[in-house]
C-alpha cells in the first residue's frame, strides 16, 4: 500500500528548526512519507505543497506563541483551494502565555483543526493519532 503523505512545517515567522527536524525523522521512521517545508512556512506554502503532492494531512508546528494568529483562516483557505476535508493538526507552544489547555484546544478546534497538541507532546502521541485518523494499521 502507498505510504500516507504528510506536509509538515513551522508556521509564520517562527524559525525553531530543531523540533521540526525531530518530527521529520519521527514521522518518517513511523512509515509516513513526509514533505518537510522547514521553518517560516506561510499558509499558502502548506496548501501548495499539499495540492501538488496529494497529501493526506497537514501538520503545523508553532513554538513562538503566535500560532493563534498564524493559523487563523488556514482551514478556510484549504476549503477554497480544493483541499476540503484534509486532516489538519497543530502542535507546540501555540498561544501566548500560560492558558488552560482545554480552552486553547477548543479555540483551535473551532478554527478547523482536527487535533491540537500542547507543549511537550511526544511524537508518538501524534503518530498514534495520525495512524488512527488516516486508518493506518
Q: Are 113 and 88 in contact (CB under 8 A)?
A: yes
Residue partners of 104: CB distance under 8 A and separation at least 6: 94, 95, 116, 118
Which residue among 21, 22, 29, 53 contacts another protein (CB under 8 A)? 53
CB 32 within 8 A of CB 5: yes
Nearest-approach distance from CB 99 to another protein, in angstroms? 17
Cell reading at 1: 500500500
Binding to another protein by residue 49, rule CB under 8 A? yes
- Contact stretch for another protein (CB under 8 A) within 21-29, 62-70, 72-80, 129-137: 62-70
Annotated catalytic residue, options 2, 16, 66, 70? 16
Q: Catalogue the E-assigned strands of 11-126.
A: 33-36, 57-62, 87-92, 115-117
**Residues 38, 112, 118, 123: which binds another protein (CB under 8 A)?**
38
35 binds another protein (CB under 8 A): yes
Q: How far is the CB of 7 from another protein (least distance, A)?
A: 8
Tell whether residue 95 is a contact of another protein (CB under 8 A).
no
First to last CA, the chain: 11
Q: Tell me which residues are annotated as active site.
A: 14, 16
Amino acid at each position: 500500500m502507498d505510504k500516507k503523505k504528510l506536509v509538515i512545517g513551522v508556521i509564520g515567522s517562527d524559525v525553531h528548526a530543531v523540533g521540526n527536524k525531530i518530527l521529520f525523522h519521527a514521522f518518517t521512521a513511523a512509515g509516513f512519507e513526509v514533505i518537510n517545508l522547514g521553518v517560516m512556512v506561510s499558509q499558502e506554502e502548506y496548501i501548495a505543497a499539499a495540492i501538488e503532492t496529494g497529501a493526506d494531512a497537514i501538520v503545523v508546528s508553532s513554538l513562538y506563541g503566535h500560532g493563534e494568529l498564524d493559523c487563523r483562516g488556514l482551514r478556510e483557505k484549504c476549503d477554497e483551494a480544493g483541499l476540503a476535508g484534509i486532516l489538519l493538526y497543530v502542535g507546540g507552544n501555540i498561544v501566548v502565555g500560560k492558558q488552560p489547555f482545554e480552552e486553547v484546544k477548543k479555540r483551535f478546534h473551532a478554527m478547523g483543526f482536527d487535533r491540537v497538541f500542547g507543549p511537550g507532546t511526544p511524537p508518538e502521541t501524534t503518530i498514534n493519532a495520525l495512524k488512527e485518523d488516516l486508518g493506518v494499521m
